[in-house]
Structure formats: C-alpha cells, structure tokens
Amino acid sequence: MGVILVVGPAERLIGPDPASLKCVEEILQQASVDAAYFLPSTLEALCQSSQYMKSLSTLKLIGFGGAPLSKKAGDAITELCPNTTLHNSLGSSDGGAFVTYEPDRKDWQYICYCPHYNGIDWRHSVGNLYEMVIVRNPDLEMYQGAFTTHPELQEWSTRDLYSKHPQKPHHWRHEARLDDLIVSANGAKFNPLEMQKRIQQHPEVRFALVTGTHRLQPALIIQLLDPKTGEERKQQILENIWAIVSKMNEEFPRQGRVKKSLVVFTSPDKDFPVAGKGFVQRAVAIQLYQRELDELYELAGPESNYGF
C-alpha cells in the first residue's frame, strides 16, 4: 500500500514517562513520520510541552484509541496543529473496525458512524447514554466481523456506551463501558466517570475510582501521585477536592452521592492495577480493596447509607 510502518523500541511500552516522550520525539524527527497513533496518556503528556507540540504539528494525522483523550489535550492539538487531523479510533477484537466518516475538526471527540453499513442499533441505557448493539444482516456480512467471531449470534452487544452529538446525526461520543456503570442496591444506575475525571484533575491525584454496586451509597478510592503522602496532607487534599465532589453530588440522584465517610486512600504497597492503555482495571482494583471497602461500609452503618 506504499506505507512504511515505524514501530517503537520493543523493550519499552511508549507511555507518558519522560524517557518515552523523548523517544517519541526522536522517532518523529528521524523517520519523517506522516501519521502516528498514540495512547491517550502519551498524547496528553506530549501536549504539556511546547517542544513536543512542535513535533506533533509536523504530522498529517494523529490517531488515538483505547481510552478517552482529555478535552484539553484534543482542543490544544486542533488549535496548535492546524494542518493535522486528530482521529478518534475505536474498534474491538471481536468486531474489528467500523465504517466511519471523518468528522469536522471541532468534533474530534465524536465518531461519525456510517448509518448504512454497520447494522448498529442504538439502545438507551441510562441518562443520555446509549449502548451500541450490532444486529446481524446478511447483506452486511463483510462489514460485521463480530458474527465471524461469534457465528451463533444474531446480535452482538458491544457494551460500549455513547452520547449523541447535540446537533449532528450519526455523530457519537464514547463515554463509558457498560461495566463502568454503578448499579445501587435499589437498582438505580449512574455513571461515575465524569466525577472520577474531575477529581483526577487535582495535581496530586493519580487515579480516582468510584464504586458502590449493590450498595446503598457509593464509595470513593483515591490513589495519589506520591505514595508517601502523610495522613495530614491526605486530609488537606480531600478538603481541596471536596468542592468538586459536592458539585458532582448535586448532579447525581440521592443514592449516587459520595459521602466523606466513604472515602479511602490507596496503600503505598497496593497501587491500582493499570492496563497497558493507561486506565485502571476497575474490577480488579475493587477486588484488591474489598476489605477496606467492607470496613468503610461497616463503620458508616446502615443508617448513614441514606442521605446526608
């Protein structure tokens, strides 16, 4: 196809650490690269440096996938790299790639799915979220890889949740996985990702994880960048982020609000398990902190699980 593929060094995953960023810059400069695909965490780190942004601006196309890219980083690329297309890629090992169109530059967060060749049925899940379900159609066989992988199925649930573009049809923004939703003890569903994202904007917070499935109230687990942070400083950080939590609580139903009594910090010897794409492995992390969570809920007591 007339394309030369440039692959980074095999001994190191290209991530957001300084050595990796320098390696990316050297590859872009030495190999005269036209297009590059990045982990979002790597791209966000590159966007924090004017030097690296200059290197990115030489590319015709920047692709990302596997996890969300922060709005701040995406907007910076579209503004400071006027000759570069920012491409939001999403596929799956079961279904392969989908038929899509390139959206306008300002809509880089959205994927424009072809309404004719994918066989997508958008099914409402909760709030403004819809699950992508692929419905089998013999006329679309060459485009529906999921049914080659799963020939016994008539429809395939991707478990990916999207929100609609406010004006443009067929434009969808990936928001979460179905597994990310919290289902409280009374059956109410809510999406914790926006709260987690806002808490993680604090300069001393590495990860925030809201959990609470089958509980009456959710709990919050926080991992700080510095594992040696003392208890006094932890409480100061908690006070700093509580304005964010309180504001987000106003947007959630009563049973979806986080209370201070249900917040725990990670232990230095038990970091959250992180996937290669740079995001927390949610189910494994919750299992890792099951004992601490059980103790939190025990101390909170059944009567404190309701209201504030």
**Using 50, 70 and 90 to split pLDDT, how confident is the model at 19?**
low
**The pLDDT of residue 185 is above 80:** no
| 251 sits in which H/E element | helix 231-251
Q: Tell me the CATH class for 183-305.
A: alpha beta
Fold adopted by 1-89: Rossmann fold (3.40.50)
Return d(Cα 212, Cα 258) in angstroms, integer: 10
**The pLDDT of residue 253 is above 90:** no
- What are the tens digits of pLDDT across the range 26-74? 898 888 899 999 888 889 889 989 999 999 999 999 999 877 888 889 9
Domain range annotation of the chain: 1-89, 115-180, 183-305
Strands 129-135, 182-183: pairing is unpaired
Return d(Cα 220, Cα 215) in angstroms, integer: 13
- Judge whether 43 and 28 are in contact, CB under 8 Å: no
**271 closest CA partner among 209, 200, 217:** 209
**The pLDDT of residue 163 is above 90:** yes
**The pLDDT of residue 303 is above 60:** no
How much of the chain exceeds pLDDT 70, in percent?
Answer: 94
- What are the tens digits of pLDDT across the range 272-287? 998 766 788 888 999 9
